[in-house]
Amino acid sequence: MITINIRKICLFVFLTYAFTCMLTAVFLLGGGSVKSGILIFGVAYMYMPALCAIVVQKLICKAELKEPLRINFWPNRWFFVAWLLPLLIAITTFGVAQLFPGVTFSPGKQDDFRYLLIKPEQFGIEIHNHRFAWAVSLTLLQGLVTGITIQALAGLGEELGWRGFLQRELSTLGFWKASAIIGLVWGFWHAPLIVQGFNYPEHPWAGVFLMNVETLLLAPLFAYVCLKANSVVAAAIFHGAYNGLSDLATIGLEGGNDFLVGTTGLAGFLVLLVANLGLVVFDRWFGGKAITRNFS
C-alpha cells in the first residue's frame, strides 16, 4: 500500500520549480530568449523534473528508481498507441479550428514548411517549398520520427518527474484527483517560458492559465498510457510525438489567434476533452480492468 508522503512531494515540487527558475534566470540574463538559443536550454529545462525526482528518490530517500518510477524500455502495444494518438489529436484539432469564425484553410498562402527538424533561427536546415502536400508530408515524417526518438528522449526528462515520480506518490488519491494535481503542477511549471512568449506569443500572461487548461486535459491521457504500458517510456513517446506533430494542427490555416487554433488553443482543448471522455468509455467497457476509478 502506497501512502502519501506530503513532505516528499513538496520537496520534489519545490526543487523542480526552484531549479527551473534558476536555470531560466541564468538563460535570460545571458541574453537568451524563446527565439534564440532555446534548443539546449529547452532540453535542460525539460530534464529538471527528472533530475529532481532522482535527487529526492535516490539521494534523499535512499529508494530504488527503476520499479517505482516505472522505468521500463520493453515495448508493448501501448507504446504504439502513445506514438499514433497524438497524430489523431493533431489532425482532429486542425479540423475543429476551421469551425471558428475567421479561420480558413489557405494552403497556398505561404511557405508551409520552412524548416527541417528545428526552426532555422535555432538550429536546422531551412527549406522553401510552397506545395502543401510536400509540407504536410515532411511535417508528418518529421513528427513521427523525432517523436519516437529525440523528442521522446527530451520528453522523458519531464515524464520521469510527472508520470514517474509524482504519479506514484499521489496514487492513493485516485486516477482523476492525481491527474488534476499533476496537471496543475505541470502547467504552472511552464510559466517562466510562457511569460516570455512560448506557445502564446500574443497573450503571454493569459497563456500561463491556458497552459494549465491544456496540461489538465493532457494529464489523464498521459497517465492512462503510462499505467497501461506500465512504463514511463510510453508517456515519453506520447510527449515526444505530441510535441513533434503539433504543427499539423495549424499547417495551412489562416486567421484566428493563439487562443483559438492549435493544440494549445480552444480547438485543441475541445479535442482533448472529447479524448478524455473516450478514455472513460474505453477504460470501463473495452480496456479490461478499469484503472480510471483508482490507481493500481
Q: In terms of residue numbers, what domain contains 276? A: 6-285
pLDDT score of 2: 61
CA nearest to 49, candidates 80, 17, 24: 17
Rounded to whole angstroms, the Cα distance separating 92 from 270 reads 10
Instruction: Look at residue 117 in the predicted model and tell me its pLDDT.
Output: 47
pLDDT of residue 294: 65
Spatial separation of the C-alpha atoms in residues 275 and 178, rounded to whole Å: 18
257 part of a folded domain: yes
| CB neighbour list of residue 38: distance below 8 Å, 6 or more residues apart | 32, 122
Residue 1 lies in a domain: no
**Does residue 269 lie in a domain region?**
yes
Answer yes or no: is 36 within a domain.
Answer: yes
pLDDT value, residue 107:
80
Domain count for the chain, please give it. 1
What's residue 35's pLDDT? 78
Q: What pLDDT is attached to residue 128?
A: 55
For residue 54, tell me if it sits in a domain: yes
- Residue 278's pLDDT is 97
pLDDT of residue 296: 46
Task: Give the chain's residues under pLDDT 70.
Answer: 1-2, 109-130, 294-296
- The SS3 call for residue 253 is strand
d(CA 30, CA 37): 10
Distance CA 19, CA 235 (A): 23
In a domain, 146, yes or no: yes
